[in-house]
Amino acid sequence: MSNPAHDFHEEEDDQGEIFLDEDDIIRESTVDDEDLPDADDQSVDEPDDDDSMHTFTGHNGELYTVVCSPTDPTLVATGGGDDRGFLWRIGVGDYAFELQGHKDSVSSLSFSTDGLLLASGSLDGIIQIWDVANGVLKKTLEGPGGGIEWVRWHPRGHLVLAGSEDCTVWMWNADNGSYLNMFSGHGSNVSCGDFTPDGKTICTGSADATLRIWNPKSGENIHVIQGHPYHTAGLTCLAISSDSTLAYTGSEDGSIHIVNITTGKVVSSLSSHSDSVECVGLAPSSPWAATGSMDKKLVIWDLPSSSARATCEHEDGVTCLTWLGQSNYLATGCGDGKVRVWDSRSGDCVRTFSGHTETIQSLSVSANQEFLVSVSTDGTARVFEIAEYK
C-alpha cells in the first residue's frame, strides 16, 4: 500500500517534462555554491528519512495514545492533546471518523476484546463508549472527579474499568451505561491498572507507591502492597501474567517488583535500571519480560532466574514497548523519535524505523501482526510494516 502523501506528489510529477535549448537562455549568472540549498534540505516538519508506509495527520496537537482493533487488521484509534480522537484505517488516506465531544486531552483508548466497542478516556474525567461498526456514540460514562489516566475492558464482557487522577477507580457496564463500582483507597492518582486475564480480580497501581488488589464484584480491597521491599516511588506501569497469578510493576524509583496476586506478597524483584521504568511487557511465548526506562535501556529478563538476559541501549529514554504478536521480537518507542525492533533472543536491534521528529508516546500492533502503529508528540501517527517479524 502507498502513502497518500506520496501519491499526491506523484500526481504533481505527472505533468510532463519541460525542455530548454540555448535560444531560451536570457541571461547567465554565477552563483556561489554556498548560496545553493542542499538537495536533501527539508522543512522542519518533514523528517529526513521516513520508513512509514502510511502517515495519519488528522490531529493538530501532540498524540498520546494509539490502539489497533483486536479484530479488524486495518482499524486504528488515536487520541491526543487536541481533545480529539480518531478512528482511521491503515492504507486508506481519505477515511477518518472523529470521536467528538471530549473537552480535554484524549489520554487513553481501548477496544473491547470482541472489537465491537471503543472506549475513549479524557483528562476531562469523561469516558465515551463508541459503537465501532456504526461510528456512533453509544454511552457517556461519568463519575470520576479528575482526568482519566487509563481505560481497560473486562476480558470477556463489556465492563469498563478506568483509573483517575482523583485517586479512584471506576467500573461501568458499557452496554447500558450503568455504574457498577467505585474502588477507593489510593492516596494519589491511579497511574496503571487492569483486570486479571481470568476477569476475577483487579490490580491498580498509583503514584502513592502502592499496588492494590480488588474484588470487582464486592469492591473489597483484598491486598495493599506497600513499603519495604516494595517500591519507594510512584508506580508507572503494570503487566499481569497470563495465568492471573503475578503482577509485574514498574516505578519511578527504577525498580520492577513481582507480586503474588493471591497472597499480596512481593516474590521477586528485577534490578538493573537507574531511572524511572516507563513500560513493562511479558513475552507471549517464553518466560521472559521486557522493561524500558528513562535510563535509555531496554532490558530483557529471564523470569525464572530474575536475571537480565540482554540490555539494549537507546539514544534516549525508552517510553513504550510492545511484543510483536507471538514472536520473539519486540518494538520500543524512544525519546529520539525512533521506533526500534529487537530480537529478544540475541538482544540485537534488527530494524530502526525513522519518520517521527519527536518523542514516541505509544505503540500498537495490528490484528494480523503485519503493521506497527506509533504516535508521537510531533502530531502524527505512522504505520510501519513488520510482517517479516511475525
Residue 68 neighbours by CB distance under 10 Å? 25
Angstrom distance (rounded) from CA 190 to CA 5: 40
Check: CB of residue 345 under 8 Å from CB of residue 334.
no
Task: Decide: residue 297, CB within 10 A, 0-12 exposed, 13-18 middle, 19+ buried.
Answer: buried
Q: Which domain holds residue 155?
A: 63-164
Grid coordinates of 126 = 469523561
Judge whether 22 lies within some domain: no
Judge whether 144 lies within some domain: yes
- The domain tally of the chain equals 2
Grid coordinates of 229 = 521491599
> Which residue from 249, 258, 356, 247 is spatially nearest to 306, judged by alpha carbons?
258
Judge whether 355 lies within some domain: yes
Among residues 144, 164, 184, the one where a domain terminates is: 164
Judge whether 103 lies within some domain: yes
Mention every residue, 6+ apart, whose C-beta is less than 8 A from residue 125. Answer: 142, 144, 145, 146, 147, 148, 164, 166
Grid coordinates of 226 = 506497600
Among residues 164, 197, 229, the one where a domain terminates is: 164
Residue 113 neighbours by CB distance under 10 Å? 15
pLDDT for residue 18 is more than 80:
no
Report the mean per-residue pLDDT for the chain. Answer: 91
**What tens digit of pLDDT does each residue of 151-185 get?**
999 999 999 999 999 999 999 999 999 999 999 99
Judge whether 89 lies within some domain: yes
31: confidence class by pLDDT, cuts 50, 70, 90: very low
- Write down the pLDDT at residue 22: 54
Backbone dihedral angles phi then psi of residue 69, each to the nearest 5 degrees = -60, 140
Judge whether 298 lies within some domain: yes
Grid coordinates of 117 = 466497542
**What tens digit of pLDDT does each residue of 219-258 get?**
999 999 999 999 999 999 999 999 999 999 999 999 999 9
Judge whether 374 lies within some domain: yes
Angstrom distance (rounded) from CA 363 to CA 351: 15
> Which residue from 247, 253, 348 is spatially nearest to 294, judged by alpha carbons?
253
Angstrom distance (rounded) from CA 195 to CA 305: 26
**Residue at grid coordinates 491498572:** 193
Angstrom distance (rounded) from CA 120 to CA 195: 18
pLDDT for residue 45 is more than 70:
no
> Which residue from 135, 136, 190 is spatially nearest to 161, judged by alpha carbons?
190
**Which CATH number is 301's domain given?**
2.130.10.10
Among residues 164, 189, 221, the one where a domain terminates is: 164
